[in-house]
Structure 1
Amino acid sequence: MTGIAALQPHLDGGGTSLCRAWAITRSDGAVLGFTDHDLPLTFGGITFSAAAGLSTSRLMQGTGLAVDNAEAMGALSDAAIRADDIEAGRYDGAELRAWLVNWAAPEERVLQFRGHLGELRRAGGAFTAELRGLTEALNRPQGRIYQAPCGAVLGDAACGVDLSAPGYSAEAALLGTGDARVLHLPALPGFSPGWFARGALTVLDGAAAGLQGVIKRDRSGDGREIALWAPLGAAPAAGDRVRVSAGCDKRFGTCRYKFGNALNFRGFPDIPGTDWLAAVPASRGNTGGGSRR
C-alpha cells in the first residue's frame, strides 16, 4: 500500500527516516531516478541514484485550480543528466514524479508532485529546470476554431488515423546525410513523392535515438531525400534506422483521398473565404434580382 495512509503511521511515530525521490521519464522513454538519501533506493521498478545531486526548491502546491510552481536543480554528470542530452531535447516536456519516502521501508511513500519539465537552463556544470504541474493544461486554449483547414493533429484521438497501419509509415537505414537537416534514405517503393511531407521522422537507434523532427520536403530520385524543418538535437549517422510517417496538409481532399478519413475531418471546408468579406452588390447591368438572360 502506498499513499498518505501508508506513510502516516511512520509520521505519527515521532522519529522518522524520510527522504525525497524523483523519477524523470524522458521523451525517448528512458527513466532516470534520483534521491537525496545517502544510499540508492529501489521501488516501482526504478532505482533512484544517490549521487546525482538533484533537488527541488520553491515547491508551491494548492488544492484549487491554480498552476503548481516548482523548480529542480542538479549537477550535470556523464552518468546521469548530460549536457548533450539536454541540447538534443531529450528532456523537453519530460514527465517528473516526486515522492516523500521512508527510506527504511520504501513501500511507505506518498506521491507529492506530478508534472512535466518546462524551461531548462544550464550554466557552470549545473542545470535548473522549471517544473509544471498537471494543472498547467488548464492554461491551454480550449474549443474549436471555425476555419477551413482541419484542426486535429494527424493520428490523435480527434483525427482517428492509425499511423501504424500499412501504407502510412516506413522504416529504413540512413544512406547518409547532406547537412544537419537533409537525410538520404533508400527509394521506399510504394510511397509516392511528397507522401511524407509535413509528417514526422523518428530516429530509432544510434546517437540520436528517440529524437523526432518534422518533415519539410520529401523528394524521390535515386533514393529518397528527406529534409527537416529544423536539425535534430543530435546528428544521426549512416546506418542508423529511422521511421518516416505520412504527413497531412489539413485539407479536406487530403483527408478524404489520402487517408479515407472524411468523417473525422475537423475543419469547415465550405466556410466562405476572405474574398467574400470584400464582396459588394453589382453596380452595373441587370440589378433587378432576376435571371440574367
Structure 2
Amino acid sequence: MRTIPPALRAKLDSGVTTLAQAWKLTRRDGVVAGFTDHDRDLVIDGVIYRAGTGFGASEATSRFDLSVDGGDIAGALDDDTLCEADLAAGRYDAAEIESWLVDWNDVSLKALTARSTLGEVRREGTAFTAELRGPADRLSQESGRLYIAKCGADLGDTRCRADLGNPAWRGRGTVTALAGTSIMMAEGLGSFADGLFSAGRLDWSSGGNAGLAVEVKQHRLVAGEVRLTLWQAMPEPIVAGEAFIVTVGCDKSFATCRDRFGNTNNFRGFPRIPGNDFVMSYPTPGTVADAGGGASLFDPVPKEMG
C-alpha cells in the first residue's frame, strides 16, 4: 500500500498540481544517481535528481497475481550522468530503481510509486531504453539446490571454502602483447601450470578497465609464453603494460575438487547421480546388467559374468 502525504493528496484532489517524476538509481557498488523529467534539477533528501537527460517513463503495468510487473524508462547517454562505457561494463546491471512522484514546488511532498531493478538495456546512438522489473521478478529466478553431477557452489564461497588467497592459486601478471580483442600474452605467470587459470577470474588493477573483472576462457602456455583468452571483450581496449590479478579456475567436477584443491569434504555435487545416458539406456545381451547378480554400475571393478 502506497503512503501519500496528506498535503500531496490534497493537491491531487484539487486537480491543480505541480508534479514531476523522479528516479533514484542505486548501483550494486553503492553509487547513487538521480534523474527527473522536470525542466530543472531537484534536490531530494540530499540526492541531486538531474534534469536535461531526456528521462521519461512508459506506462507501468501492475497485476494482482504473481506475474512480473514492468515498465520502461528512456533517456540520453551523458558522460556526466549515465555513459555508454559504464553500461557496457555492467556497472548498472541489476541496479535498484526507486520511482517517485514529487511536487517540484515543495520536494518534501513526494510519494514512492514503485521499486524495481534495472533489466535489459537497449542502446541506439546516444539514447537508451531500460527495462524495469518489479519485485515479482525474483520469484522467476532459479534458487535452491540442484541435483547434478557437478558442484553447485561458486569457487571460494562459503559453501566451497577454498582459500583463493593461497599464492599457489593466485597470480599477478602484466599484459605484454595482444593476439586478438580478447586474447593476450602476459608475463609474471610463468610458474603456474598450463590450464590452472582456465575458468578463473581476472581482475584488472590498472588501465582503462581497472576495477572490472572477467572470466578466463582459456589459460595456455604457448612456446614458453602465457596466453590468456577471455570470455568477452572488455569495455575499454586492452593495452600492453596493464596489470591484473588472476585466480585459479574450477570446472566443478569431483576430480578437480579432489586433485587440485583437496576439498572433497565440501564438494556440493552428486558425482554418482545417473545422467541422461543412463536414463535412456536399456539391457542388451552380454552386459553386466543382463547377466544378473545385482552388480553395481559404479563398482570400480565390475563382477565377472557367470
Compared CA separation, residues 163 and 47, structure 1 to 2 (3 A): farther
Query: How far apart are 1:67 and its partner, in Å?
Result: 0.7
Q: Summarize the Cα distance change of 1:232–1:28 in structure 2 as closer, same or farther, 3 Å threshold.
A: farther
Q: CA RMSD in A?
A: 3.7
TM-score (norm 1): 0.78
Cα gap change, 1:106 to 1:11, in 2 (>3 Å): closer
Partner of 1:60, secondary structure, is coil
Is the partner of 1:127 in helix, strand or coil? strand
Q: Given the superposition, is the C-alpha separation of residues 169 and 39 from structure 1 closer, same or farther in structure 2, using an over 3 Å criterion?
A: farther
Per-residue deviation, 1:74: 0.6
Match of 2:9 in 1: 12
Q: How far off its partner does 1:291 sit?
A: 7.2
The AA in structure 2 aligned to 1:39 is R
| Larger mean Cα displacement after TM superposition, 66-75 or 276-285 | 276-285
Counterpart of 1:224 in structure 2 is 226
- Shift in Å, 1:77: 2.6
Contact map agreement 2:291 2:305 (CA 8 A) in 1: no
Question: Is the 8 Å Cα contact of residues 171 and 188 (structure 2) preserved in structure 1?
Answer: no
Q: Counterpart of 2:5 in structure 1: which amino acid?
A: Q
- In structure 1, give the amino acid aligned to 2:53: A
- The aligned residue for residue 258 of structure 2 is 256
Other-structure match for 2:281: 278
Q: Partner of 2:123 in structure 1? A: 122
What displacement does 1:102 show? 4.6
Over residues 212-270 of structure 1, what are the superposed CA-to-partner deviations in whole Å (9 max), with x where a residue is unaligned?
Answer: 32211113465532111232233222333333222111111322343444333221112
Aligned partners of 1:165, 1:98: CA distance in 2, in Å?
45
1:189: how far off?
6.4
1:49: how far off? 1.5
Contact 2:69 2:136 in 1 (8 A): yes
- What letter matches 2:139 in structure 1? L
Cross-structure match for 2:298: none
Name the CA distance, whole Å, in 1 between partners of 2:180 and 2:226.
Answer: 15
> For residues 96-140 of structure 1, what are the alpha-carbon distances to aligned partners after superposition, in whole Å with 9 as ceiling and x for unaligned?
332334545656544433332222223353221111122212122
* Separation of aligned partners in 1, 2:88 and 2:45: 29
Q: Which residue of 1 aligns with 2:40?
A: 39
The residue that corresponds to 2:134 in the other structure is 133
SS of the residue 1:152 aligns to? coil
Q: In structure 2, what is the equivalent of residue 56 of structure 1? A: 57
1:12-67 Cα distance to aligned partner (Å, 9 max, x none): 34376543322334567654321223332345664322221212112123454221
Cα drift, residue 170 of structure 1? 3.9
Measured in 2, the distance between the counterparts of 1:110 and 1:155 equals: 42
Aligned residue for 2:296? Answer: none
Aligned to 2:200: 199
Distance 2:6 2:168 in 1: 57
Q: Secondary structure at the match of 1:59?
A: coil
Q: Which one of the candidate residues 238, 242, 262 is aligned to 1:240? A: 242
TM-score (norm 2): 0.75
- C-alpha contact 1:10 1:16 (8 A) present in aligned 2: no
Over the matched positions of the two proteins, sequence identity in percent amounts to: 39
- Match of residue 80 from structure 2: 79
After TM superposition, the structure 1 = structure 2 runs for residues 161-200 of structure 1, keeping only pairs within 5 Å, are: 161=162, 163=164, 167-188=168-189, 191-200=192-201
Give the residue type in structure 1 aligned to 2:215. V
Q: Which structure's relative contact order is higher, taking Cα pairs within 8 Å and 6+ residues apart?
A: 1
- Call closer, same or farther: CA 1:112–1:287 in 2, change over 3 Å: closer
Q: How many residues align?
A: 290
Question: Is contact 1:76–1:127 with CA below 8 Å preserved after alignment?
Answer: yes
**CA shift for structure 1 position 281:** 5.9
